Amino acid sequence: MKKISLFFACLFGLLALNAQNRYLQPVFSNVKVTADVTYGVNATILYLGVVGQAVPEALKVDIYEPQGDTETARPLVIMFHTGNFVPPQFNGGCTGTRKDAEIVEIATRLAKMGYVVASADYRLGWDPTNTSQQTRIYTLINAAYRGVQDANTAVRFFRRNIAEGGNTYGIDPNKVAFWGNGTGGYISYAAATLDNITDTYIPKFVTPQGPMVLEFLSGNYEGTTVGVNPGVPGLPFPAGDTLNYPNHVGYSSEVQLSISVGGALGDTSWIDANDPPLIGMQVKTDPFAPYGVGDVVVPPPFNLTVVEVMGSGSAIPWAFATGTQGPINHPFIDPVSVHANSVNGGVPGLYPFFSTDPTEGSPWNFSASLEPYGVAGSNCDTNSVAAKVFIDTIIHYFAPRACLAMNLGCNLSGISAIEDKLDAAQVGLAISPNPASEVVRFKTNTEFPIEHIYVYDLQGRLVKAHTNVQSSQFTMQRNSLASGNYFAKVMFKNGFVTQQVMFR
């Protein structure tokens, strides 16, 4: 009896530990996958050159759930694969479907952590090798727009199932995130930030004839209105062709978080304070999707410039300045977060990867075989061991931030520092000169070394970040800061002090 009691005591302790770590670590051993669920039907242009018009396409999703889970209100991650908006037969044969090996790997891991994950198709089709750059831009922005519609349709599919279908997959409708790898990252960012088709009415997406994205033709950005060509001359679609079929109208398309792994944002003007937090992870030297501001490039052998976009290194700081990052702006102290903060300028939600290979933009990608989609000679990278090291980091960076963004009630003990507001006299903080002209010196008592210094303007925007100072003295250069008042948040091991700083 004693041994049995001890066994149950250990079991209950283990269950309690697992409950605490749910959404941060794997707590389930097996995953149930419901494949090929239709989440919508919409018009694809992929066969336009053959049939002469857009045709209906069933949009499919594979749904991953933790096996044996009794929770009935779980967070949902809707995931979009990479592939350059074309099928594997046209992009090299290694990626381009919801069955991509790294997508399956990430979806399985998240499900073992307690999430429901939906790996979704989206409509493909554009003209990446056209000799006209304007045509390349036109077809790409419209492909991305259709991807946004499909992403929004997927959200509404699950919310409709919750309301009308008995909540088949045990999802909390208020805890939904987009996740995109590569090309899917463009969809994830755009679907989270586009609030109206007019957001695309910016110079790079406008021709002398007008906007490249037309609502009467393509439907609204949520995908809830019909899009028909009424007979406008010059369009590549016949009169009467329908380019958008509404699905699940009446349900919200809103999400609480957007993740991009190796993707970019069409334009930072799409971001506003009402958008959800963004998490961006990207190789700084990505040759095809710029880390900062740069051009989308069609991969070899074509190497064609398409259009200027903003990678995570530009989009995330802009989102932070706009105010969207508040829910994930938290003092994490786990090694992955500490490293990120040492190289990302103190911007919450941004994880830059570094590579010595200038041709490498997605080291987390791998394939199950040399020819996973039957494309002869594709010779895909099957090094899953190396790829999974990157996936480890990606998930570790995502998990605690998702806990905050979606209010999952995670136990953040051991990975989160509790910020206590300290008194300047307590740590001996002196800032001089103040007001200053070119430099400001921070000095504290030796037993209170400064860890980080973050400087904000009066609108609350981060304008300077000095991480890992680890000293009781620090000299900060003014550089390009305009004259005026700022607030310096000086971080210590056990708290922080906020002081006003003025530049003449």
Q: Which domains does the chain have, with CATH numbers?
A: 2-405 (3.40.50.1820), 424-503 (2.60.40.3080)
Residue 371 has pLDDT above 80, yes or no: yes
417 DSSP 8-state letter = P
183-193 and 133-164 helices, crossing angle to 10°: 70
pLDDT of 308 reads 97
Sheet (strand 462-466) strand order: 462-466, 452-456, 484-492, 495-503
Report CA torsion sign: 418, 424, 425, 430: positive
pLDDT of 386 reads 94
Report CA torsion sign: 425, 430, 431, 432: positive
The token pair at 404 is 């905050």
The token pair at 484 is 């005026």
How far apart CA 82 and CA 100 sit, in angstroms, is: 8
How far apart CA 489 and CA 449 sit, in angstroms, is: 14
pLDDT of 80 reads 98
Mean pLDDT of 55-78: 97
Residue 193 has pLDDT above 80, yes or no: yes
Residue 462 has pLDDT above 80, yes or no: no
Can you list the positions of beta strands (E) in 165-229? 171-181, 206-207, 210-211, 227-228
Can you list the positions of beta strands (E) in 163-284? 171-181, 206-207, 210-211, 227-228, 242-244, 257-261, 264-265, 278-283
- Residue positions counted in the chain: 504
| Residue pair 382/369 in contact by the 8 Å Cβ criterion | yes
**Planar angle of CA 499, 273, 398, nearest 5 degrees:** 85
Residue 459 has pLDDT above 80, yes or no: no
How far apart CA 211 and CA 193 sit, in angstroms, is: 19
pLDDT of 349 reads 98
pLDDT band at 169 (very low <50, low <70, confident <90, very high): very high
pLDDT of 1 reads 30
Mean pLDDT of 384-391: 95
In angstroms, the Cα distances linking 113 to 29, 78, 154, 247, 404 are 9, 15, 22, 31, 15
pLDDT of 8 reads 32
Q: Report which of 384, 157, 118 is spatially closest to residue 249, judged by C-alpha positions.
A: 157
Alpha-carbon torsion angle 254, 97, 37, 172, nearest 10? -30
The token pair at 106 is 């990430």
pLDDT of 12 reads 35
pLDDT band at 166 (very low <50, low <70, confident <90, very high): very high
pLDDT of 11 reads 36
pLDDT band at 329 (very low <50, low <70, confident <90, very high): very high
Bridge partner residues of 177 (DSSP): 77, 257
Amino acid occupying residue 489:
K
Residue partners of 332: CB distance under 8 A and separation at least 6: 338, 400, 412, 415, 416, 417
Sheet (strand 430-432) strand order: 430-432, 439-443, 473-477
Q: Report which of 445, 455, 463, 446 is spatially closest to residue 487, judged by C-alpha positions.
A: 455
Cis preceding linkage at 449, omega within 30 = no
pLDDT band at 419 (very low <50, low <70, confident <90, very high): low
pTM: 0.81
Bridge partner residues of 489 (DSSP): 454, 498
Amino acid occupying residue 386:
A
Range of weakest confidence among 22-26, 125-129, 166-170, 492-496: 492-496
Q: Report which of 445, 442, 423, 444 is spatially closest to residue 431, judged by C-alpha positions.
A: 442
pLDDT of 182 reads 97
Tally of CB atoms within 10 A around 8: 10
Residue 129 has pLDDT above 80, yes or no: yes
pLDDT band at 457 (very low <50, low <70, confident <90, very high): confident
Query: What string of DSSP letters covers 437-469?
Result: SSEEEEE--TTS-B-EEEEE-TTS-EEEEE---
Residue 487 has pLDDT above 90, yes or no: no
Residue 472 has pLDDT above 90, yes or no: yes
Mean pLDDT of 69-96: 97
pLDDT of 460 reads 61
Can you list the positions of beta strands (E) in 74-222? 74-80, 116-120, 171-181, 206-207, 210-211
Mean pLDDT of 396-422: 87
In angstroms, the Cα distances linking 83 to 89, 94, 114, 479 are 10, 8, 28, 42
How far apart CA 434 and CA 431 sit, in angstroms, is: 7
Residue that is written with structure tokens 């998990």 in the block: 399
| Residue pair 265/310 in contact by the 8 Å Cβ criterion | yes
The token pair at 492 is 């210590």
Residue that is written with structure tokens 């049939």 in the block: 51
Mean pLDDT of 449-473: 84
Mean pLDDT of 309-319: 97
Q: Report which of 250, 263, 114 is spatially closest to residue 175, judged by C-alpha positions.
A: 114
| Residue pair 234/221 in contact by the 8 Å Cβ criterion | no
